[in-house]
Chains A and B, each alone.
Chain A
Amino acid sequence: MRVCTLIACAAASAALGGCETPKGFAWGQYEQALYRYSKTPQAREAYELALEQAVDLGRRQNRIAPGLQAELGFVRLERGDTSGAISLFQAEAQSFPESARFMNQVIRSLSAPAGADRPAVDPATGPGQAQPVT
């Protein structure tokens, strides 16, 4: 019975790959903050702060989580800070080459003169149902 418990315990931790990435990506409070933001639009500032802290921690410890710099850039874009957004999209592309084509496309559409092209990301577009409102 005791041996069974030992095996189950070790198997559970091995099965969930717990030992593969000892430190792992720095997510900070991203998950909880996005969850609250998805329930109440008023939680956007807390979401932005959680992203800032996670990005900061990830940069300091060289374990920045995929997507978070872009998410932070998108929050900045939603509140009108286009240049802040662009530098974060550039940082995302640099940290993760997998995102480069998409990020560069977004940056190009933001840099295009107004009315020249339909932007890929348009914060003015009304959000769908149950969306956090900007």
Chain B
Amino acid sequence: MQMKNQIGGGIFVISLLASGCAVTPPSADYTSFRAADPRSILIVPVMNNSVNVNAAENFLSTLAPPFANRGYYVFPAYMTRRVMEDDGIGDPGLVHSAPTTRLGEIFDCDAALYVVIERWESKTVIISTSTTVDLSYVLRSCRTGDEIWRNRQTLTYTPQSQNSGGDPLVNLIAQAVAAIAEKAAPSYIPLAQQANLQAAATAGFGLPAGPYSPAYKADGGVFRSGPVN
């Protein structure tokens, strides 16, 4: 049933596009991105502005797949981080303020991805726990140092217990238990994975298809160059 719905919706959207009556979907301006035309992306050490000291360490594992899956060569995240440490640029604050062209000299990367963790927190108010990740993404050319893309994702998750009606006290307890469980083991990683996927792959705002994608250079209508509408 779920499948059928998707197919139905797909046909609906295709016919909308084909008939030409659809309004142009929104897009950021990809002029500088298209000019840089990157094939490869280096993930630089993640800057952590949150109060959670382990956030950056645990977050690194989630970054490469969603960006590579857009069709780019993504440098080995763990290995390159260790090489940067040995090269004296492993400190996120240092590498984020150093010229990107220096990374181009070391790694021969086309672009470097700078991610800043703005928030990575779990808060309990009364009997409800909310987990939030707030991430900003900037891609710079390793050749010129210019910024060629940026995105920001703020995602919050608040577990809701199954409200089966009936006894309000039972519902209250169920809600409190769900809040305690979320507080003990906040869903940071699933939220971060979702944020990365949305940042990398949202039509009109993510990364255009790269050279390893069949859609390479065929998505100019979705990721447009020119003034933002």
The interface bits of chain B over 75-87 (1 if a CB of A lies within 8 angstroms of the residue's CB, else 0) are 1111100110111
The reply to whether A31 and B65 form a contact with Cβ atoms under 8 Å apart is yes
The reply to whether B79 and A14 form a contact with Cβ atoms under 8 Å apart is no
Does residue B102 face the partner (Cβ distance < 8 Å to A)? no
Does residue B165 face the partner (Cβ distance < 8 Å to A)? no
The reply to whether B64 and A67 form a contact with Cβ atoms under 8 Å apart is yes
Tell me the smallest distance from the CB of A90 to a CB of chain B, in Å.
Answer: 14
The reply to whether B68 and A71 form a contact with Cβ atoms under 8 Å apart is no
Known: A101-B108, A121-B82. Is A9-B72 also a contact (CB below 8 A)?
Answer: no
Does residue A128 face the partner (Cβ distance < 8 Å to B)? yes
Within 8 A of B (CB), among A102-129: 102, 106, 120-122, 125, 127-128
Residues of B within 8 A of A70 (CB): 75-76, 79
Task: Specify the chain A residue showing the minimal Cβ separation from B72.
Answer: A66
For the complex, count residues of A whose C-beta is within 8 A of B: 48
Does residue B169 face the partner (Cβ distance < 8 Å to A)? no
Tell me the smallest distance from the CB of B220 to a CB of chain A, in Å.
Answer: 15
Does residue B61 face the partner (Cβ distance < 8 Å to A)? yes
9 A-B pairs whose Cβ atoms sit less than 8 Å apart in the complex = A7-B12, A13-B10, A14-B13, A35-B61, A35-B62, A67-B79, A71-B76, A98-B109, A101-B107
Known: A34-B61, A39-B58. Is A10-B39 also a contact (CB below 8 A)?
Answer: no
Does residue B178 face the partner (Cβ distance < 8 Å to A)? no
The interface bits of chain A over 25-39 (1 if a CB of B lies within 8 angstroms of the residue's CB, else 0) are 101001110110011
8 Å CB contact of A20 from B61, B76, B215: B215
Does residue B40 face the partner (Cβ distance < 8 Å to A)? yes
Cα(A34)–Cα(B12), bound, Å = 41
**Band of interface residues on B:** 35 or more
Task: Specify the chain A residue showing the minimal Cβ separation from B54.
Answer: A130
Does residue B166 face the partner (Cβ distance < 8 Å to A)? no
Knowing that A16-B202, A101-B108, A102-B106 are A-B contacts, what are 6 other residue pairs whose CB atoms are under 8 Å apart, sorted by A's residue number? A5-B5, A10-B12, A31-B62, A38-B60, A67-B77, A125-B86
Residues of A within 8 A of B64 (CB): 66-67
Cα(A23)–Cα(B62), bound, Å = 19
8 Å CB contact of A121 from B13, B62, B86: B86
The reply to whether B57 and A130 form a contact with Cβ atoms under 8 Å apart is yes
Does residue B8 face the partner (Cβ distance < 8 Å to A)? yes
Does residue A21 face the partner (Cβ distance < 8 Å to B)? yes
8 Å CB contact of B75 from A14, A31, A102: A102
Cα(A8)–Cα(B74), bound, Å = 31
